A and B are shown apart, each in its own frame.
Chain A
Amino acid sequence: MMITVRKLVKRFGLKPVLRGMDFSVEPGEFVALLGPNGAGKTTFLRILSSLSRPTLGSVSIAGYSLPGQAAAVRRRLGVVSHLPLLYGDLTAEENLRFYALMYNVAHAEKRISAVLDMVGLSSRRRDLVRTFSRGMQQRLAIGRAVLHDPEVMLFDEPHTGLDQDACQMLDTVLREVAARGRTVVMTSHDLTRVADLASRFDVLSRGVITASVQRSQMDPNNLLAFYRQAIVEA
């Protein structure tokens, strides 16, 4: 198991957001985590990415538990949220260079060039990030996330704010990222986006997983119906 979550509870003060979630992901799976706004998707992803601590329950990633072995987990994790996590006053390559230092990536310059190639931003490497469009920033953000070659990738609604073209470019990059055998968890409230990408669909509603189905077991056209039903059942 690459990711194992048992009986995860998260409360903010006295308000429960996650209520005893169980969630497991095999290596190489691409899980789309669906759910309405406020279901707790972002909270869950923040816990998985070690930015937030569980109130109760256990979380382990690549064999290391959170929050105790957080550093080991962080090394193996690449995270893309809807904020770009990039420094506007630095160039694309300077941003990557910074993160290469933070993650202690070997052969940094070679790696940076390769990553810029992969996300299609080589021609803009010397440009300041604040001149980038949102789509370009998002692609660079993915570059930042894969820089240290993590085993697990977490995406929090990465398509937010992108137009059609940008979305398609993003999808190409996502497929590239996933094709290398990485384990991916992506949250989304937009079904059309993930329908083609994911190998498994889970629904998070009212703080627990209410449904989970493999792509092979389901006709993608029924995705919407499947989703609606999982919400109602909560």
Chain B
Amino acid sequence: MQPIPQTENQVRLKEPSLGVAQFIRSLSAIIWKDLAAELRSRELLSAMLVFALLVILIFNFSLELDAQARSTVTAGVLWVTFAFAGTLGLNRSMAMEKDRGCLDGLLLAPVDRSAIYFGKAIGNLIFMLIVEVIVLPVYSVLYSVNLFKPGLLLVILLGSIGYVAVGTLLSSMAVQTRTRDVLLPILLFPLVIPVLIAAVKGSTGFLQGAQAVDIRPWINLLIVYDVIFVAVAFMVFDYIVEE
């Protein structure tokens, strides 16, 4: 075995504050890592997708939907689906870190804790958006509903951001308890209700071609929620991971 060659320009020369560059670097590294790992195993996405499609199928059998009823119910069905599939993704994403001690690996690195939070949260968001992007056309086809309205896509994006912001925070807590998987939905759903309500009402508004003035309050609520909780997460995450 060879002796280790000297490494030049070691980080130790840059003292001691962590710059924005490092923040972004570590954030991107975490996102890249999650995407690369998922690309290999496809466990997370396939679980979320299959689950989402099953939920939609179950809705078909449990709710008698004629064309008229469908337009009022579609948004609700979609969001319930996303909410439940979302918890699967959140759980798996954090469990992956916890199981092999990788969370420690992340915490040992000289990076800001919030970089870890944002890295995981953005990764979770990407997975959720992928699932949504696939579910929407499937639902469109199955129920002959046109879901490709830009307003609707905006609402889905804003809603997913809020959901994932709080979800990532809570899953990093839940994963450290005994009751892990079961606990996340219990913790998450009560807190995420404003998102669900606003998203469903906003989505319905866009689907039924309602007036902009009616839809505005819901979009505003989503934006307010997203901004508040991302800010709070930034402040609170340290306390969750520091022993």
Interface centre among A76, A89, A120 (most CB of B within 10 A): A89
CB distance from A110 to the nearest CB of B (A): 8
Tell me the residues in window 81-108 of chain A with beta carbons closer than 8 Å to chain B beta carbons: 81, 83-90, 94, 98-99, 101-107
When distances are taken between beta carbons in the complex, the residues of chain B under 8 Å from A126 are none
Select the stretch in B8-16, B71-79, B125-133, B200-208 that faces chain A: B8-16
Tally of B interface residues using CB under 8 Å? 40
| Structural contact, B109 and A85, CB atoms closer than 8 A | no
Q: Please tell me which one of the listed residues B2, B7, B22 contacts residue A107 in the complex, with CB atoms under 8 A apart.
A: B7
Assembled-state Cα–Cα distance A173/B3 (Å): 10
Taken residue by residue from 49 to 71, chain B's Cβ proximity to chain A (1 for < 8 Å, 0 otherwise) reads as 00000000000000000000000
When distances are taken between beta carbons in the complex, the residues of chain B under 8 Å from A125 are none
Select the stretch in B32-40, B162-170, B172-180, B191-199 that faces chain A: B32-40
Assembled-state Cα–Cα distance A115/B41 (Å): 26
CB distance from B21 to the nearest CB of A (A): 9
| Structural contact, B10 and A148, CB atoms closer than 8 A | yes
When distances are taken between beta carbons in the complex, the residues of chain B under 8 Å from A146 are 4
Taken residue by residue from 87 to 98, chain B's Cβ proximity to chain A (1 for < 8 Å, 0 otherwise) reads as 000000000100
Q: Please tell me which one of the listed residues A74, A83, A106, A128 contacts residue B101 in the complex, with CB atoms under 8 A apart.
A: A83
Tell me whether A101 and B100 are in contact in the complex, defined as CB-CB below 8 angstroms, given that A75-B12, A87-B33, A89-B41 are known contacts: no
Interface centre among A52, A64, A88, A107 (most CB of B within 10 A): A88
* B216 touches A (CB below 8 Å): no
Assembled-state Cα–Cα distance A201/B110 (Å): 30
Assembled-state Cα–Cα distance A18/B96 (Å): 31
Tally of A interface residues using CB under 8 Å? 52
| Structural contact, B10 and A98, CB atoms closer than 8 A | no
| Structural contact, A102 and B4, CB atoms closer than 8 A | no
| Structural contact, A90 and B37, CB atoms closer than 8 A | yes
* B1 touches A (CB below 8 Å): yes
| Structural contact, B7 and A74, CB atoms closer than 8 A | no
When distances are taken between beta carbons in the complex, the residues of chain A under 8 Å from B7 are 105-107, 111, 149
| Structural contact, A120 and B4, CB atoms closer than 8 A | no
Query: How many inter-chain residue pairs (CB < 8 Å) link A and B?
Result: 126
Select the stretch in A33-41, A43-51, A191-199, A214-222 that faces chain B: A43-51
* A190 touches B (CB below 8 Å): no
Assembled-state Cα–Cα distance A85/B109 (Å): 12
Assembled-state Cα–Cα distance A115/B5 (Å): 9
Tell me the residues in window 45-88 of chain A with beta carbons closer than 8 Å to chain B beta carbons: 46, 49-53, 64, 67, 69, 71-72, 74-77, 79, 81, 83-88
Residue of B nearest to A10 (CB): B243
| Structural contact, A87 and B108, CB atoms closer than 8 A | no
* A117 touches B (CB below 8 Å): yes
CB distance from B164 to the nearest CB of A (A): 21
Residue of B nearest to A86 (CB): B100
* B106 touches A (CB below 8 Å): yes
* A180 touches B (CB below 8 Å): yes
| Structural contact, B36 and A90, CB atoms closer than 8 A | yes
* B224 touches A (CB below 8 Å): no
| Structural contact, B16 and A89, CB atoms closer than 8 A | no
Jot down 26 A-B pairs with beta carbons below 8 A, ordered by A.
A46-B243, A50-B107, A51-B108, A52-B243, A67-B242, A72-B110, A75-B110, A76-B12, A85-B100, A86-B105, A89-B40, A90-B33, A90-B36, A102-B26, A102-B111, A104-B25, A105-B11, A106-B7, A107-B9, A114-B5, A115-B4, A117-B2, A118-B3, A128-B40, A146-B4, A172-B1
A51-B104, A106-B7, A176-B4 known; 20 new pairs, CB 8 Å cut-off, are: A53-B242, A75-B110, A77-B108, A85-B102, A86-B102, A87-B100, A89-B37, A90-B36, A90-B40, A102-B26, A103-B110, A105-B7, A106-B8, A115-B4, A118-B1, A119-B1, A128-B40, A149-B4, A149-B10, A180-B4
Cβ-closest 3 pairs across A and B: A83-B101, A85-B105, A101-B29
